[in-house]
Amino acid sequence: MLRIAHISDTHITGGEAYKSYAYDLIVNEINRGSFDFVIHTGDITNQGLREEYERASYELKKIQKPLIVLPGNHDVRNVGYELFEELIGPRNGVFEFKDGVVIWVDSTIPDLSDGRIGGRKFRWLKERLEEHSDRRFKIVAAHHHLVPLPNTGRERNVLFNAGDVLDLLIRHDVALYTCGHKHVPNVYRVEDLIVDNAGCTSCRKTRRGDVNSYNIITLHDDGRIGVKIRRVTGDEARKEHRPIRPKIFVPSGRRLLRIVQMSESNVSDRIYFRRRVLENAIRMINHLKPDLVVHNGDVVDMGIERYYEKAIGFYRRVKGRKLVVPGHNDITYLGHDLFTEYFGEPREVEMGNFLVIPVVSAQYETPIGVVGRMGQKKLAEKLKENEDKFKIVVLHHNIVPIPRSRELGFLEDGGDVLHVLTKGGADLVLTGHGGNAFGVKVEDTPIVNAGSVSWELHRNPFGNSFNVIDIYRDMIVVFEVQATWGSGRLLGIWKVKRP
């Protein structure tokens, strides 16, 4: 067994942002406790100034355990990254321990609050992960959060390439990603990866009236990972994860439901719209005989009558039950009215024990989405009312970052929406923004994004595609089908409770 104390966002400064008594309380607790080492995930100072760094270096020396420290966005303000190296240590590095390794990465961008593990650093991280691939516990530490967090207000300052990083970590069997930054303690499981956010250890700026805290990570010999959020008030919240292995399952019984999921057809006159690819996809979709076809939005490239007329022509050729939610392109110009005129208000679809819930997240004239506080409340109620049903939520915007997309059209309340979905027991979530197919399970909720079915400007190395989602008694299997060639690849396979 190995125990790690995870502190973050100490914001050490002479001013009032810093609560020295909270810092001392937590550090004393850590020194008294049985910890193998300590990780500080950044924002050690408040403005990256010399006097702050000098004090921080003094304060950090109070920690009587091996310590890993990396910079946060506050530390690199005012060219503080040079002082970091001078007074604290290297900004990137590798720390090895029995059974595992911690790779820490500087995710900051000078003078911005946003984060990035871009270009060379991404390659460096990938190489380190390959080099240590035999290690049982691979831990990556950085300052910025990877998955939207609840109770942080507007979702922002995530890593610009969070989707790529998430994909990299999952592919390399990383056990734990530790970070800070949002001053909200939280633990999510994304596939087999634990995403551990520390709250703030000694900054006054806690959210939602919370108090200072730190996280205690326990790596058990049998592979289990426990994370405990420990607040200065003594309150504790703990979570434990047992890794899912083996990862290949075989579904049992007959198929209960088949959904075809497509997105971003972007019907238009523009050369980027691939009419023949869409026609081909529709032929394949009809051949697959799905119980429901879901279109996750951006049916047209722009909200004009001519495009809607064209789109409905294609859409009528799709046989069977259909559900469309609008994307941001659909409601540009007069699209707001045209969408309802042509496709109708998105309505719930009930099929036996399956309930499909559409959520409109598109906003007028901006790629940024929102569900809104009222929308979140309604969704939470809907999930609760239908506790015993198999609930599938359909919306346009991404709630987990998608590889290769740069979070341009993010969901501004993504953190709270993800919380509503995972806590409310949504059994499957379908999204369709970002132009790339991707699927991950967050907590117990698989989240599947569709790539673009017929728009040339996508980000999917597999090309234009749609997803086929087969639901069995104990399992969801998702295949991505290439819209031109019809070849398929497995996007995800997840155990589910019981449809």
Q: Which C-beta is closer to Fe ion: that of 26 or that of 129?
A: 26
Q: Which amino acid is at 152?
A: T
Rounded-to-integer distance, Cα 239 and Cα 105, Å: 25
Identify the CA nearest to 284 among candidates 301, 258, 252, 260.
260
Q: Which C-beta is closer to Fe ion: that of 8 or that of 405?
A: 8
State the CB neighbour count (10 A cutoff) for residue 459: 16
**100 within 8 A of 138, measured Cβ to Cβ:** yes
Min separation Cβ 13 and Fe ion, Å: 12
Interface with Fe ion (CB under 5 A): 9, 43, 72-73, 181
Min separation Cβ 57 and Fe ion, Å: 18
Element (H, E) at 283: helix 275-288
Q: Which C-beta is closer to Fe ion: that of 146 or that of 379?
A: 146
- Rounded to 5 degrees, φ, ψ at 57 are -60, -40
- Rounded to 5 degrees, φ, ψ at 319 are -85, 155
Q: Is 407 helix (H, G, I), strand (E, B) or coil?
A: coil
CA of 295: how far to CAs of 4, 320, 453, in Å?
Answer: 45, 13, 10
Q: Which C-beta is closer to Fe ion: that of 73 or that of 467?
A: 73
Min separation Cβ 49 and Fe ion, Å: 15
Min separation Cβ 26 and Fe ion, Å: 15
Min separation Cβ 180 and Fe ion, Å: 6
Rounded-to-integer distance, Cα 295 and Cα 32, Å: 56
Min separation Cβ 365 and Fe ion, Å: 31
Q: Which C-beta is closer to Fe ion: that of 154 or that of 317?
A: 154
Element (H, E) at 376: helix 372-385
Nearest residue relative to Fe ion (C-beta):
43
Rounded-to-integer distance, Cα 81 and Cα 463, Å: 40
Q: Which two tokens stand for residue 221?
A: 């010999």
Q: Which C-beta is closer to Fe ion: that of 182 or that of 397?
A: 182
Residue position matching structure tokens 């083996």: 246
**45 within 8 A of 59, measured Cβ to Cβ:** no
Omega prior to 246 cis, within 30 of 0: yes
Min separation Cβ 182 and Fe ion, Å: 8
Q: Which C-beta is closer to Fe ion: that of 211 or that of 288?
A: 211
Q: Which C-beta is closer to Fe ion: that of 9 or that of 416?
A: 9
- Rounded to 5 degrees, φ, ψ at 494 are -135, 140
Min separation Cβ 42 and Fe ion, Å: 6
Residues 6+ apart with CB under 8 A from 171: none
Residue position matching structure tokens 């047992």: 242
Q: CA 213 from chain center: how many Å? A: 23
Q: Which C-beta is closer to Fe ion: that of 181 or that of 241?
A: 181
Residues 6+ apart with CB under 8 A from 174: 129, 138, 139, 140, 193
Residues 6+ apart with CB under 8 A from 130: 172
Q: Which C-beta is closer to Fe ion: that of 196 or that of 330?
A: 196
**310 within 8 A of 276, measured Cβ to Cβ:** no
Min separation Cβ 414 and Fe ion, Å: 18
Min separation Cβ 5 and Fe ion, Å: 18
The 3-state secondary structure of 33-87 reads: CCCCEEEECCCCECCCCHHHHHHHHHHHCCCCCCEEECCCCCCCHHHHHHHHHHH
Q: Which C-beta is closer to Fe ion: that of 9 or that of 298?
A: 9
Min separation Cβ 46 and Fe ion, Å: 9
Q: Which C-beta is closer to Fe ion: that of 74 or that of 138?
A: 74
Min separation Cβ 364 and Fe ion, Å: 32
The 3-state secondary structure of 216-256 reads: EEEECCCCCEEEEEEECCCCEEEEEECCCCCCCCCCCCCCC
Min separation Cβ 8 and Fe ion, Å: 7
Rounded-to-integer distance, Cα 447 and Cα 492, Å: 10
Q: Which C-beta is closer to Fe ion: that of 80 or that of 435?
A: 80
